[in-house]
Each structure stands twice: as structure tokens, then as C-alpha cells.
Amino acid sequence: MKPLICNLKMEHSLQDILQYKKELEHCVNSFSLVVCPPFCYLPIMHSKYYKIGAQDVSCYRNGSFTGKVSAEALKSLDVYGVLIGHSELANTMEEKLKKLRRAVTDGLHAYVVISDTKEDYDYQYTYVKLMSKIRAFLSRVLPKDYAHITFIYEPFWLVGGAESLDVSFLENLFYQIKTELSSEYRYDFPLFYGGGITSANIEALYASDKIDGLLLGNFCKHVKNVVNFLEKDVNSTSVDNSLHD
């Protein structure tokens, strides 16, 4: 199974999240699924059927930072990974770089969200912009940390919308990026896509052999969307047992 990340953002009451978990567990069986609930629900959403992710992490190891959550604290809750640099957080590049370093140092998988601007996209500058950001992130980590990093291209102007980028464009872009990274860093970094994913386009994006996984936002707000997609896919794909290796 291709990995899916469900970013539940700030949605759901306690009753809602318990129902979400119930329906998800009834459907999921060893899928490569990472669920990122609000911080207050991390212990509640813990499950043997999928991995737990955090929506953010502090760039500091410890200290008097009210409202922030450290990588060490997340790791103690058996959190597998964390989103770094989602556009809705409005972090500076320096903050993102510090968060990446903090996450991998404390044993969390870093899902690093990168983006361009609509102008970059219109003027065919996306590849250059994304590679520049990837190189900046990789300058802060050691080669031994590469296995704990996944890059996610999420055009911020498509977040929350009902339209994704064209699959053929993404395939060409991802091929260029992966080829360059493999040559420059001697490592095959996973490359995911997020942004404007809906029931109308998720199957085409998921089926592409150039896109290694998907970051779901509004699509996963309603658990039925996730359940319906997973149940449809399991009928045509062998089950991945990687979560229980």
C-alpha cells in the first residue's frame, strides 16, 4: 500500500474523534496510514492499526515555551512522525530548519512540507524553487538522518480547494527532483503530494508510480471519505504489512 497521511487539523470534538477512530479501525488492517489529530487527541487516537503523527513540533528541546510541544514529549507518546512547515503554520524558513533538526535528532520521522508560489508555478519555476528548499533542509542534517525524512510538495494556493495539480505535471516534476536528489545525495528520498485532493482526483494521484504517497487535508475531515477509499483500494491491492515488521 502507498502511504497516506491524514492531517485532521483542528477539526472534531472528543465524541467526533472517538467515532472517527472506531470507523477507521474497523476498516484499516495494516495499512501504511499516518493519522495526525489535534495535539489533545494524540493519546486517544493511538492505535495498533495505523501510525500516529503530530501536526507540528517545537524547534526547541525544552524551555519556557507555553503552548509548544517538544519532540521528546511527542516521542514519549509513541508518535511516529511530525509535519514540518505546513503552510497554515506560517513558520519562517529558519524555524522550519530548526524543527527538522529537532525532530530527527529525537527520533521522529519528519514529513517536510515544501511549496512554491502561484507565480513560480505559472512561470515554470517550481522545480528550481523546490530544489532550493530541499537543499536548505538537507544542509541541516547528516546522511544518517536521510531515512527519517520525507518531502511533501503541497502548493499552498491549492490547500483547502477542490482542484489538484495535473498528474502528468507532477510526474515530470517528481522525476526531475528524484533524479537530481539521487545524484547529489546518493539517496532516494520519498516524495509525496498534497493540495486540493478530493474524491474526484485521489485515485489518479494514488495510482501514479512517481508519487510515493499523499497528504490528505479536507478530504480526510470526514472519516467516510478515507474508509471508502481504503476499502475500494484493498480490493485491488495486496495488503502491506510494513507497520508490523
Give the pLDDT of residue 71.
94
90-129 in b/e form (b: 16+ CB < 10 A) is ebeeeebbbbbbbbbebebbbbbbbbbeeebbeeeebbeb
pTM: 0.92
Its domain, for residue 65, covers: 4-244
Task: Check pLDDT > 60 for residue 229.
Answer: yes
Q: Which residue from 79, 126, 121, 88 is spatially nearest to 217, judged by alpha carbons?
A: 88
Q: Which residues contact 46 (CB under 8 A, 6 or more apart)?
A: 52, 77, 78
91-112: per-residue pLDDT in tens? 899 999 999 999 999 999 999 9
CA angle (158 as vertex; 35, 219 as ends), nearest 5: 35
How sure is the predictor about 235, in pLDDT bands with cuts at 50, 70 and 90?
low
For residues 56 and 81, give the distance between their C-alpha atoms in angstroms, rounded to a whole number: 10
Give the pLDDT of residue 62.
82
Give the pLDDT of residue 94.
93
| Structural domain count, the chain | 1
171-186: per-residue pLDDT in tens? 999 999 999 999 999 9
- When mean pLDDT is compared across 49-58, 76-85, 120-129, 226-235, the lowest value belongs to 226-235
Between the alpha carbon of residue 101 and those of residues 160, 181, 200, the distances in Å are 28, 19, 37
The pairing of strands 149-153 and 109-114 is: parallel
Eight-class DSSP state of 9? T
Q: Which residues contact 71 (CB under 8 A, 6 or more apart)?
A: 57, 58, 61, 82, 102, 103, 105, 106, 107, 108
Helical ranges in 93-201 per DSSP H: 93-105, 118-122, 126-138, 167-185
Q: Read off the CATH number of the domain in which 73 is found.
A: 3.20.20.70
pLDDT > 70 in the chain, percent? 93
Average pLDDT over the chain, rounded to an integer: 91
Helix axes 14-27, 223-234, angle to 10 degrees: 0
How sure is the predictor about 238, in pLDDT bands with cuts at 50, 70 and 90?
very low
Give the pLDDT of residue 61.
85
pLDDT > 90 in the chain, percent? 80
